Amino acid sequence: MNSRERFHGVMHFDKGVRALKWEFGYWGATVDRWYQEGLPKKDYPRISNNVTTPTTSLYANCWSTYRKKGLPPGIGVTGGGLYSPTQCFPLDHDVRDTLQMDHGQVVVDVNLLFHPVFEPRIIEENDKFLDYVEIDGVTRRYQKKEGVIPMGMDWPIKDWTSWEQLKHDRLNLKDTRGRLPKRWDDLVKEYNRRDYPLVLGGYPHGYFGTLAHLMGYANLFYAYKDEPELIHDIQETLTELWLAVYAEVLADVEIDAVHIWEDISAGSGSMVAPKTMRDFMVPYYKRLTSFLKDRGVDIVLVDTDGDCFDIIPVFLEGGVTGLYPFEVSCGIDIVEVRRTFPHLQMLGGVPKGELSRGKYAIDKLLEPVEEVLKTGGYVPFVDHLVPPDVDWENFKYYRTRLNQIIDGFGD
């Protein structure tokens, strides 16, 4: 059974199919540490310099400034549970092959935001940081030593005037075919004979995530109260755009899932009240998910960090079928989630902060994972990028034990 077939079996609760052996991903510093500690170095993660769309190419300008040997410490290296390519994160091969894991998800590099994209522009650069305008129009600061995703400093949506200009110039529907990847016809041939899950969406596309991304979090929170019509107009415009572009893709190729990036939760719960979500997000979720399901895409997954337990019902109202990465590190109890939502597709749920504590702690943290695996509809992996305080021996022990547990549930 290939990973595409397995993905559908697991997501549709076929208990005769074992879960996929994926990880969300790893920090660059983590992977470099593991190579020093014994991970065979056969296919070192490669960072692409190819800048195409916000779906795959955000932060390319940042990673290219890292001058030392090895990966930027704070770059992500994707591990299958997190689709690839995204954010110019390189794809891992060596961890996957060494620990006999499965082929991961591939995202179609279709432009779901500005077309044309903004021209990248450096504002200021020195030995410590890079201030620049990204292809999504956001002005960011990249800290070179830390090498983590840059922080926003200024955003393209400021008010009605800036929004109307963006709509007119970069969010119109005049050239939806032009938003497809180059060599689309060749890609379609490849996609139609694939053995891996092919997905759409992902970072930075969502009904909270995109707005926070393009407005700034604080500005968005104020706008819910002060400019509700603006928020609705943004949501309506994004929905019309995404429906149009997805229709172009789905006319040529079958898609296995759509990912929606929100990151709407933090350690103590959602950053947005359920009522606000129902007012400003759920109607648009319903339109999007109904459109997808009418066209055969019945797996819709939301990526949100933090404690998301209280807003799971809101996402379900909108037609979402699953969530990830279920951050146990933020207080999520995956057994309680499964008990409360028996038909929810779940991915993640292994606390990253516990992996450095040794074999006994790892055995204990895998007990609830085994309980949820019994129910089906679950792909376990670490609840975000594996941090660099986790050594190779502990990770290898964790992943080997998890693989053994997975093998006990289906073929």
> Please, what are the domains in the chain?
3-115+157-407 (3.20.20.210)
Cα 72 to Cα 74: distance, rounded to the nearest angstrom:
6
Q: Which residues sit opposite 315 in a β-bridge? A: none
pTM tops 0.85: yes
C-alpha 344/C-alpha 335 separation (Å) is: 12
CA 6 from centroid of its chain's CA atoms: 20
> Could you tell me whether strands 198-201 and 151-154 are parallel, antiparallel, or unpaired per DSSP bridges?
unpaired
pLDDT for 121 equals 95
Residues with pLDDT less than 50, the chain: none
Return the sign of the alpha-carbon dihedral for residues 21, 24, 25, 30: negative
Six-digit token pair at 160?
A: 């009605």
Predicted local confidence at residue 68, as pLDDT: 84
pLDDT on residue 267: 87
Question: For residue 409, what pLDDT is reported?
Answer: 95
Closest to 291 (Cα-Cα) out of 253, 324, 258 = 258
